[in-house]
């Protein structure tokens, strides 16, 4: 599938976090919503700002019944360092081959850079929010909080 819209079923996926845990979309179905945020690269200023904003709002997501997972093409070791350095409380998935990014149809920015897109997926596996903005890192968190019912305007 080349494009997703709100109301579409999220593509099933299986991935491994930087600490070796397997994650499947099915793990969340019927239990919790999922905020899946794709970002370009560990350690860059905007990506760090975004990851830290998700970290700072993590309890609000949990209280609203949602889990948060970050995805980039960085290695598991890069993710481990990034997560430890910034005390990230949610898992990061290494999508080194780009397959997860491709299955969610995350576009490249200017045809070159991995895009920054956040998906909010409900307990039934339906996409309830898609937010794409390469430079508005905090807005990804704000929009996702609203989508899970934890934030207001």
Task: Write the pLDDT tens digit of every residue in 53-92.
Answer: 999 999 999 999 999 999 999 999 999 999 999 999 999 9
Q: Are 114 and 101 in contact (CB under 8 A)?
A: yes
Catalytic pick among 10, 36, 47, 147: 47
DSSP 15-78: EEBTTS-EEEGGGTTTT-EEEEEE-S-TTSHHHHHHHHHHHHTHHHHHHTTEEEEEEESS-HHH
Q: What is the pLDDT of residue 115?
A: 84
Residue 111 backbone class (left: φ over 0; alpha: ψ -120 to 50; beta: rest): left
Residue 106 tokens, joined = 């995350």
Q: What is the pLDDT of residue 49?
A: 94
Q: What is the pLDDT of residue 133?
A: 83
Q: What is the CATH topology of the domain spanning 14-147?
A: Glutaredoxin (3.40.30)
Q: What is the pLDDT of residue 151?
A: 57
Total-model pTM: 0.92
Q: What is the pLDDT of residue 153?
A: 44
Place of tokens 């609000």: 60
Does residue 52 have an active-site annotation? Answer: no
Straight-line distance from the first to the last Cα atom of the chain, in angstroms, rounded to the nearest whole number: 32
Residue 74 tokens, joined = 């960085």
């Amino acid at each position: 599938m080349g494009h997703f819209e709100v109301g579409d079923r999220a593509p099933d996926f299986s991935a491994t976090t930087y600490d070796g845990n397997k994650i499947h979309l099915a793990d969340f179905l019927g239990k919790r919503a999922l905020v899946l945020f794709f970002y370009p690269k560990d350690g860059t200023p905007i990506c760090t700002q975004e990851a830290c904003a998700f970290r700072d709002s993590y309890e609000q997501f949990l209280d609203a019944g949602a889990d948060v997972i970050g995805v980039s093409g960085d290695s598991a070791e890069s993710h481990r360092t990034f997560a430890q350095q910034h005390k990230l409380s949610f898992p990061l998935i290494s999508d080194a081959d780009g397959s997860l990014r491709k299955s969610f149809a995350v576009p490249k920015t200017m045809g070159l850079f991995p895009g920054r897109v956040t998906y909010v997926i409900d307990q039934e596996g339906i996409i309830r929010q898609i937010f794409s903005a390469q430079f508005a890192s905090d807005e990804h968190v704000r929009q996702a909080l609203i989508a899970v019912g934890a934030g207001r305007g």
